[in-house]
Every structure is written in structure tokens, then in C-alpha cells.
Homo-oligomer: A and B are copies of this chain.
Amino acid sequence: MAKITFGIDIGGTNIECGLVSDERIIWRSTRKTEAHLGNEHVMAIVAELVKLGLENTGITSDQIAGVGVGMPGLVDAERGISVLSSNLHFQDYPVADRLTALSGLPVCIENDVKMYVYGEATHGAGQGFGHVLGLTVGTGLASALVMHGNLYSGAGFAGEIGHIPLDGVTQPCNCGLVGCMETIVSATGMARQATQALEQGQISILASKRGHLRGHLTARDVSDAYDQQDPLAVSIMNYTGRTLGIVLSYLYPMLHPDIIIVGGGAAKAGERLLAPAREALRERLLPIYHDTLRLVKAERDEDAGILGSAAWASKQFS
């Protein structure tokens, strides 16, 4: 019998839950996270989703190998504790134990970016590659490294590349530092670049966007304007892509990954972002790296979190 696991992604807005059998999502559902209603409330929603999955599919508890949960922030995977998730208002909370008590199933937890990249490594663009470096470019920027099916953890806070400081960038970051990579390479960073340029009087079709009039330009607006050859949008996309490539050129000689996968909301820009990134990276890499350089878009963007958490649970409870 195939091993069946739940893969769950607790995000700031939604909780995504999937039932994964034979490496396919056979059932999925979503609920609002409503983190402001408290930790117990969030746990209850997850437990409800698990119950619903079993009811809707007719699968019984004893057919389930385990539940994998990805969540933002710092996770103590060994003890199943959310050490700190500012987003979700969790602090030193025993997520795994609590969910096991509510569902009667074995539960493991991990950081959500790790689970997303694990999903891409096992079911997406990283399949068949040994060392997979994955980035999520969304509101912020983070990364994870999968090494032949194992997660790189470091001393606990590994993968926080959004806060690599860049020379010549003066934008303050939410973290308190100045010039962090994610002030440029993120959906927020791209939108901010556009808004600031318009405020400085630059001419662009972005000025006529409803989003701009409301003060809410998005990375998507920039991407659309790029497709209309808007010079400001082209300039922002190239600069953002090249900045990504430059930071990757710092990491590449240390890590020598077999493949780099870029996912998350802003990655929808695809080659608009990745082509300049690849160019900047290649210019700055030793020739020995050129032949095997792979910088690609995520393939399972919507499903990677669920697939990764489910695969991770499958590995933990095998």
C-alpha cells in the first residue's frame, strides 16, 4: 500500500492542507489562518482540515503515516516546537504535540521555506539533482538548501539570504539593517522601486495604474509594464534580476549547487527576472561552473509547500 501523508502549509493568510498519496495530491482544502484569534484557534483549524480530508476521501487514520507541517519563522524540528513566528504570533509553542493530541496522528514540523524548497527538490524543478538551492521571492526573500533529500539547517537560522547586506544600497530594511537584499529582490522591493521612481518624476505607464493612484503598485504591475516595454519597468526588472545574480555569485562558489530554483510570488516574472540574474551570475563565476549552471523557475509553485511537507513527513515517519 502506498504511504499516505498530510502536507500542511500554515501561512500568514491561509492554511493549505493536502492529502498526498503516491506522490500526488489526492485531496486539498484551504482555510483562513486567523492567527489573531490565537494559537489554539490555528491548531483547531488544522485539526479540522485533517478530519475533513479523512472524511472526504474515506481514508482512515491508520492508513496515514503522518502529518508534515510547514510554518514561518524559527522552528525546533526535533522537539516539534514553533520557537518564534512573529507573523502567526507563535512563541515556544508545541505545535507537533498539540496537533498529535487533536488528530491522533504523528506530526512533524519545519520551516515553511524549507518545506517549499523540499517540495521543489522532490517533486518539481529539482528532481534528480543532488544539491538544490531554492529561493522564495515574495513579500520577503528566503532560501533553503536540500542535499540529496536532506535539509541543511546550520545552527538554526540558515537560509536567511534576504538579509545579506548589499554595497551601495541605502534602503532601510524592516529588520533594522540597511541595504538588505530583500529591499530590492522581493515583490515589495520591486513595487517600492517603482513607487519611488514615480515620486521622483520618472515617466512611466505605471503612473496611470489604478494601483499607483491608490498608492498600491505591485510587482505584477511592474511585470505587466515590462511586457509593454515601459522603460522604467524594464530598468527595475533588470536591476532586480542583476542584483539577484550578484548575490547568487557570492553564494555559488561556496555552495556549488546542482540547480538554483526561484519560486514565490515575484518569481512569476520568470525569465524577465531570471535572464538578467543569470547573465550577472555567469559574468561573475569561474569558468569551471559555467557548463553546469542552472537557474530556473519553480515548477510546482502552488503545490510545493504541501508536497514538501508531505514528503518530509513521509521521510520522518518511514
Q: Residues of A with Cβ closer than 8 Å to B?
A: 130-131, 143, 145, 147, 152, 154-165, 167-168, 175-177, 246-247, 249-251, 253-258, 284, 286-289, 292
Chain B residues lying within 8 Å of A255, measured Cβ to Cβ, are 154, 158, 254
- Using A167-B168, A176-B287 as known contacts, list a sample of 13 further A-B pairs with CB atoms less than 8 Å apart, ordered by residue number in A: A131-B154, A154-B255, A154-B256, A155-B292, A157-B256, A158-B254, A158-B255, A159-B253, A161-B253, A165-B249, A167-B167, A175-B286, A251-B254
Contact partners of A247 in chain B: CB under 8 A? 250
The 10 closest A-B pairs by CB, nearest first: A154-B256, A250-B250, A158-B256, A160-B253, A165-B284, A155-B258, A155-B256, A157-B256, A131-B154, A167-B167
CA distance A67 to B145 in the complex (A): 32
By a CB distance below 8 angstroms, the chain B residues around A168 are 167
CB A285 to nearest CB in B, in angstroms, measures 8
A161, B289: Cβ atoms closer than 8 Å: no
> How far does the alpha carbon of A89 sit from the alpha carbon of B159 in the complex, in Å?
38
Q: Which of B154, B160, B286, B289 contacts A286 (CB 8 A)?
A: B160
Is A163 a contact of B250 with CB atoms below 8 Å? no
Q: How far is the CA of A306 from the CA of B158 in the complex (A)?
A: 30
For the complex formed, measure the closest distance between the CB of A233 and the CB atoms of chain B, giving whole angstroms: 25
